[in-house]
Structure 1
Amino acid sequence: MRRGIAASALAASLALTATACGGSGGGSGKSDGPVTLTWWDTSNATNEAPAYKALVQRFEAAHKDIKVKYVNVPFDQAQNKFDTAAGAKGAPDVLRSEVGWTPAFAKKGYFLPLDGTEALAEQDAFEPNLIEQARYEGKTYGVPLVTDTLALVYNKALFKKAGITEAPRTWDELKADAARIKARTGADGYWGSTQAYFAQPFLYGEGADTVDAGAKKITVKSPAARKGYATWLSLFSGKGLHKADVTADAYAHIQDAFVSGKVAAIIQGPWEITNIYQGSAFKDRANLGIATLPAGSTGKAGAPTGGHNLSVYAGSDEAHQKAALTFVKYMTSAKSQETLALKNSTLPTRSDAYTARVKADPGIAGYQGVLAAARPRPALPEYSSLWVPLDTELPKIASGKESLDKGLSNAELAMSKLVDGFGR
């Protein structure tokens, strides 16, 4: 959240920057030469961006009438930056948009509906649930580029050394495995995250969510949700269970411990596959185990569906929108998605991109196998923002600074201010 004069100055600066490098909103649509698009790519600048830059060069070689100005925007800044730029009518022509941003930007009129356009000419090739995630109020505002979900990733060698032959199917089994791994290998068995996104599977395992969008009700404190969070909390204390890390670098600490073999299992997404392979514990890629997350008391497992779409800015002129649609179709084609999967170990969004070469990557094959447990997010513009209050409260709960009930009450109150008309 930004506050005060400094925040206003920053917002103004972002708007001016975006106008200078962004789309062509409001133009006549006429051009005497190649159309130059601006694309904001939100992929990891080190591990993923090179593959996207190479695809842009191939696109330009095949489309002499279109040039692409590639801009890599840090993911954690992109949502606010695009919001500011679009409001000033100076956003990029194409955005690599996280799936959770779609409802909010579509509601504001910032994204162009893509139904019936060139960009969605091969719509039937995409996984139906991923197309559904790109929709808002009956219209489609993005073409799925990559998808992801969360899984239990584990070190097969440590599990084998502890005499464990398969991944745990319940959270109680995970606790037992963690204790056994600690006793027999000295490594921690499991290290959990205090981030709300990574706690979401514990809700799904109890048939719960933070909100019931249909009933317009905040459900983060419902008995089922509380049970899920209680299970999440119980995994920070016990033999082989690493205590909660509530520092600003917690994500990196957990990841580093896993790739170096100091912890046997964590919850993680496929965006870290390439980094995992660089770790000392996974020089042999076959050592990486990927399993559906343990189930809750309902007997079912669940994890949030993530990923990114390519969306077109509604404020660009006709010529730029037409070129943008061509670009989006190219970047989301089966061939392009195969290239991205091979280079970045990301999950394609269309079945014809899962070629034999792609499925030879154990990381991709493993995550493809857990996609069945992925749960789509409600088409609620504010849904993703509801994790923000939890990102404040969950670390306090995990570190013992406040009780579970107090923390969830605080989160519930903060959520009520984010969604109009929702009861508690």
Structure 2
Amino acid sequence: MGDPALSRRGFLAASVAAGLGATALSGCGGDSDGGSSSGTTTIEWWNISTTQPAKTVWAALAKKFEADNPKVRIKIVQLENDAYKSKMTALTASGKLPDIFHTWGGGVLRQQVDAGLVEDLTDRTRTWADGLLPVAKEPYLLDGTAYGIPFDIGMIGFWYNKALFEKAGISTPPTTWNGFLDAVGKLKAAGVTPLALAGKEKWPGMYYWAYLAMRTAGVDALRKAGESKDFTGDGFVRAGRHLKELVDLQPFQKGFLGAAYSTPTGQAATVGNGKAAMELMGQWAPVVEADVGKGLGANLGFFPFPEVEGGNGKITEVFGGGGGHALRRGAPQAAVDFLEFFASRATDRELVRKTGVLPVVPAAESVLTDPNLKAVQARLKEATGFQLYLDQAYAPAVGQEVNDSVAALIAGSKSAEQVAQSITTTAKEEQ
């Protein structure tokens, strides 16, 4: 995906710079038929890597594939994140998608699959896709069928200041919710702001409710709720109540309701400048903390979201997402070959080394040098369950309602029961 320093709602590495890529849209309206002229097959590849270094790296990979496959031409169409979503919505409605296209998996991919527009990759990729990191493949598995191949994966967790933990007498990161609340109390008692939050942007607050829902109701309950359009179950209400427990401790920095994520006075900078002990954020957090603040260097640590006592979830179940590629239904074999090339050890090593993504090919892990990314990768490898970002797992309106309702709970204007009911109401309206 794009530059981690520009991370925004629900995306791992985030919103990419505005504008089109090097390839103009003229003649690229998703009307490629994977056909051939003069014995050459042209494959249209739509992606959102419009920023450096990914833009140059991906273009070079396409050229390398062409050199290895002289009878194949890769036609690249690069769109900024929001423009891409808009264009893909129109193409989905028209019934014709590009040969290869970026996907986050989840709800939008399911809509495209249900419309009969996406190629089933289960058998066509089995010989090599079986070797990819299991958790990375989860967002693209719908009812056990593979409709996409990952090139990136990541997770949300707590990034914390070891020095501030030591100041508060906290020797090890908490592993239970009660232990976490206790740590918050110890930090406050030591005169330390426990948590930084970008309340203005809403999506960072959603991470708390999502994880608490995973830990109380369970990952399977989130899937079932998405299908039944009913989030009023006891586990979801308890998730809101647990979040209210945290909010009542007043753990966030002064003015958090008006704070953005990546501004000089926002969430990331507050942690990066040592003014708060923790933030709940994705694997891009260290980059942003150092970009908009000073960064914590060796004082920065990472730990997973704690288990909730009596809940159905485990600490090894992760919340996150990544990027992948899917194919239009009936795409030529050359498109499958390109996916295999893009998911190869050599390509993944280059992507990890040059663009900062986490490896989806276990054999590429040796390229990782950053201790923070190694810590996240270790958790991903140990994952026993996975939940895709809610604004990608569900219909966009439902994901937005989760963000809005949770923000209202954090601000004190909605109860846990009202949050569950609001999300349910929106989900039913989407039917």
Q: 2:211: which partner in 1?
A: 201
Indicate if the aligned counterparts of 2:159 and 2:303 stay in contact, CA closer than 8 A.
yes
Change (3 A) 1:305 1:375: farther
Tell whether 2:142 aligns with 1:136: yes
**Amino acid aligned to 2:217:** G
Change (3 A) 1:381 1:160: closer
Deviates more, 1:168-177 or 1:103-112: 168-177
Offset, 1:105: 1.8
Tell whether 2:28 aligns with 1:21: yes
Q: 2:403: which partner in 1?
A: 391
Structure 2 SS opposite 1:96: strand
> Residues 85-121 of structure 1, C-alpha deviation per residue, up to 9 Å, x if partnerless?
233355332112102233222122222122333x553
Structure 1 SS opposite 2:270: helix
Offset, 1:203: 0.7
Offset, 1:240: 4.1
Tell whether 2:279 aligns with 1:266: yes
Offset, 1:156: 2.1
Q: What's the TM-score once normalised by structure 2's chain length?
A: 0.78
Structure 1 SS opposite 2:118: coil
Q: 2:10: which partner in 1?
A: none
**Amino acid aligned to 1:153:** W
Q: 1:369 aligns with which of 363, 378, 383?
A: 378
Q: 1:303: which partner in 2?
A: 318
Is there any run of 5+ residues in structure 2 with no aligned partner, and where?
Answer: 1-23
Offset, 1:368: 1.7
Tell whether 2:364 aligns with 1:353: yes
Q: 1:408: which partner in 2?
A: 420
Offset, 1:41: 2.1
Q: 1:327 aligns with which of 319, 338, 344?
A: 338
**Amino acid aligned to 1:254:** Q
> Residues 384-419 of structure 1, C-alpha deviation per residue, up to 9 Å, x if partnerless?
223222122222222123333233222211112224
Indicate if the aligned counterparts of 2:151 and 2:324 stay in contact, CA closer than 8 A.
yes
Q: What's the TM-score once normalised by structure 1's chain length?
A: 0.79
Deviates more, 1:231-240 or 1:94-103: 231-240
Deviates more, 1:210-219 or 1:188-197: 210-219
Q: 1:314: which partner in 2?
A: 329
Q: 2:194: which partner in 1?
A: 189
For residues 54-93 of structure 1, the aligned pairs below 5 Å read 54-89=60-95, 91-93=97-99
Change (3 A) 1:277 1:192: closer
Q: 1:162: which partner in 2?
A: 168
Offset, 1:26: 4.5
Q: Aligned partners of 1:80, 1:204: CA distance in 2, in Å?
A: 30
Structure 1 SS opposite 2:279: strand
Offset, 1:277: 4.8
User: Alignment length, in residue pairs?
Assistant: 392
Q: Aligned partners of 1:160, 1:106: CA distance in 2, in Å?
A: 50
Q: 1:338: which partner in 2?
A: 349
Indicate if the aligned counterparts of 2:161 and 2:296 stay in contact, CA closer than 8 A.
no
Identity of aligned residues (%): 21
Tell whether 2:290 aligns with 1:290: no
Structure 1 SS opposite 2:247: coil
Deviates more, 1:55-64 or 1:17-26: 17-26
Offset, 1:377: 4.3
Structure 1 SS opposite 2:323: strand
Change (3 A) 1:244 1:223: farther
> Residues 107-163 of structure 1, C-alpha deviation per residue, up to 9 Å, x if partnerless?
22222122333x553122113344454233443211121112211111223323433
Structure 1 SS opposite 2:231: coil
**Amino acid aligned to 1:289:** G
Q: Aligned partners of 1:135, 1:416: CA distance in 2, in Å?
A: 24
Q: Aligned partners of 2:229, 2:255: CA distance in 1, in Å?
A: 26
Aligned alpha-carbon RMSD (Å): 3.3
> Residues 203-230 of structure 1, C-alpha deviation per residue, up to 9 Å, x if partnerless?
1111346645299534422222111112
Structure 2 SS opposite 1:114: coil
Offset, 1:362: 1.0
Tell whether 2:240 aligns with 1:233: no
Q: 1:113: which partner in 2?
A: 120
**Amino acid aligned to 2:105:** V
Structure 1 SS opposite 2:102: strand
Change (3 A) 1:249 1:240: closer
Q: Aligned partners of 1:375, 1:261: CA distance in 2, in Å?
A: 33
Q: 1:173: which partner in 2?
A: 179
Q: Aligned partners of 1:273, 1:39: CA distance in 2, in Å?
A: 31
Indicate if the aligned counterparts of 1:93 and 1:312 stay in contact, CA closer than 8 A.
yes
Offset, 1:333: 1.0
Tell whether 2:104 aligns with 1:98: yes
Deviates more, 1:343-352 or 1:146-155: 343-352
Indicate if the aligned counterparts of 1:270 and 1:364 stay in contact, CA closer than 8 A.
yes
Offset, 1:67: 3.5
Indicate if the aligned counterparts of 1:345 and 1:363 stay in contact, CA closer than 8 A.
no
